[in-house]
Amino acid sequence: QVQLQQWGAGLLKPSETLSLTCAVYGGSFTGYYWSWIRQSPGKGLEWIGEINHSGSTNYNPSLKSRVTISVDTSKNQFSLKLNSLTAADTALYYCARRWELFRYMDVWGKGTTVTVSS
Amino acid sequence: EIVMTQSPATLSVSPGERASLSCRASQSVSSNLAWYQQKPGQAPRLLIYGASTRATVIPARFSGSGSGTEFTLTISSLQSEDFAVYYCQQYNNWPPITFGQGTRLEIK
């Protein structure tokens, strides 16, 4: 059964860069898109973007200028970088999986809380 | 960007009763709609995709209906474990994929 394990720094300062990584265990890395989604009290669930094993990416236009999602197929991992952080980026960040042909997420990581504060 | 609006924000229902949760899209999303359940401290869990198809191991008391802009998630006989927050998500017009703001289902 596929599991997603995620990690990264939880406390950052304004203007810094968020960096999170998600590892895929127990399943294939190909045939899927690997997503980042965040959840905050103010904005609810917000899709950030996604990547597949070939490195093809899709981003939320509202965040595109600040987001980079990358993949390391040798480790079955994918990563999120979000720069120029502000307090509005404080949220619970999830990694998740979707099939290449369908755009709903069927497997989710447990989430990483990221707080942006000076 | 398609805006998803869920109603009501909070729904109070007694165990064993039926619950109906609504989701409206700002423009047609065809049947490209999913429902998720989220319990405190947990990630969302996929319940329904394609507006009406239950995901793997989801009990038959959960059903989805609708197409276009109006969708409903129905839980036929509420069990204690069903009290949670429910989100709809459209995946017809993207990027971005967008979610509703959620309906909290609480015990009456």
- Taking 90 as the threshold, does the pLDDT of residue A100 lie above it? no
CB contact, 8 Å: B96 with chain A? yes
Shortest distance, CA A42 to any CA of chain B (angstroms): 10
Instruction: State pLDDT tens for residues A5-49.
Output: 999 999 999 999 999 999 999 989 999 999 999 999 878 899 999
CB contact, 8 Å: A27 with chain B? no
Nearest chain B alpha carbon to A47: B97
Q: Which of B97, B99, B103, B104 to mutate to test the interface with A (most CBs of A within 10 A)?
A: B97
C-beta atoms of A62 and B96 within 8 A: yes
**What b/e string do you get for A74-87 counting C-beta neighbours within 10 Å, with b at 16 or more?**
eebbbbbebeebee
Length of chain B: 108
The gap between the terminal CA atoms of chain A, to the nearest Å, is 40
Instruction: State pLDDT tens for residues B47-82.
Output: 999 999 999 999 999 999 999 999 999 999 999 999
